[in-house]
Amino acid sequence: MNERAALAARLREGGIESADFEAAQMIAAAPDGETLAEWTCRRLAGEPLQYLLGEWEFWGLTFAVGEGVLIPRPDTEILVEQGLAALNGVEAPRVLDLCAGSGCVALALAHERPDAAVTAVEWSPAAYGYLEKNIAALGGRVTPRRADVLAPPPGDWGAFDLITANPPYLTGEEMAALPPEVRHEPPQALSGGADGLDFYRAIRAMWLPLLKPGGTLAMEIGWRQGEQVSTLFAPFSPRVVKDYGGNDRVVILKN
């Protein structure tokens, strides 16, 4: 049995479903056998593969990730797609990305629209460090700004053509049932309060006023939250966009 097959078998025995893929990723990235052995132990203990590798791809771009920042996920690309569609025909748009985390949404938008001025908002010190690191590595007109989305915007922000957000949206019940590897991700990037809607209420009350007339707000949601979030924003006639798995994924509306 070769090294890759042996590692995959060990990961599979440890309950890791994508064992073949992960074994290939770990072997390709590990600089030596000692590191690979350490990574294997950490992975079997539940640490996410992305944290072991220190990076992950999103929208064709490579983002630095690690302890303290949410791992970019493919479903979030739906949010980027909707944001870009909303910017069609808008010259030199101003974009605000809330709960930016690693900066994956903000930097993907800036990559596709180099004429855009993007402000990326993050509160967590650990996540903010990754945001700054990824902005430095990937460029684009992205300005990091440290602020708490659950509080009113501090100072003068101006008005934006597009506001995007991938806020924490798991309910208390969902937080209690998280699989081991997701428990390694920062709880403050996952928990949306008892009913999962705390951040949507804050966005509605305190951040939506920053949207220009005719501007667009696009927010990622949990797969069971389409109706609830739409109700919060009912006066703006929101619509729900599904992901490629057929689940509710983004609520989008115009001011």
User: Taking a C-beta distance cutoff of 8 angstroms, is the pair 203, 149 a contact?
Assistant: yes
pLDDT confidence tier of residue 1, bands split at 50, 70 and 90: low
What average pLDDT does range 149-174 have in this prediction? 97
Q: How far, in Å, are 44, 52, 211, 227, 230 from residue 215 at the CA level?
A: 46, 39, 6, 22, 17
171-184 confidence digits (pLDDT tens): 999 999 999 889 99
The mean per-residue pLDDT over the stretch 66-92 comes to 97
Please, which pLDDT band fits residue 216 given cuts at 50, 70 and 90? very high
Neighbours of 64 (CB within 10 A): 18
What's the whole-number mean pLDDT along residues 209-227?
A: 97
- The token pair that represents 172 in the structure block: 């208390």
Q: What domains are defined for the chain?
A: 3-64 (no CATH), 74-254 (3.40.50.150)
Q: 123: which 2 tokens?
A: 């509160």
Quickly list DSSP for 42-111: HHHTT--HHHHHTEEEETTEEEE--TTSPPP-GGGHHHHHHHHHHTTT-SS-EEEEES-TTSHHHHHHHH
pLDDT digits over 38-62, tens only?
Answer: 999 999 999 999 999 999 999 999 9
Does 245 score more than 90 pLDDT? yes
Residue 48 makes CB contacts below 8 A (sequence gap 6+) with 71, 181, 182, 184, 185
- DSSP codes of every residue in 153-196: PPS----EEEEEE----B-HHHHHT--TTGGGS-GGGTB--TTS
Return the sign of the alpha-carbon dihedral for residues 121, 124, 129, 133. Answer: negative
Number of Cβ within 10 Å of residue 86's Cβ equals 21
Query: How sure is the predictor about 30, in pLDDT bands with cuts at 50, 70 and 90?
Result: very high
Quick one: pLDDT band at residue 247, thresholds 50, 70, 90?
very high
Mean pLDDT of the chain: 97
> What pLDDT, in 10s, does the model give residues 101-151?
999 999 999 999 999 999 999 999 999 999 999 999 998 789 999 999 999
Residue 137's pLDDT is: 97
pLDDT at residue 94, rounded to an integer: 98
Q: Average of pLDDT values for 58-78?
A: 97
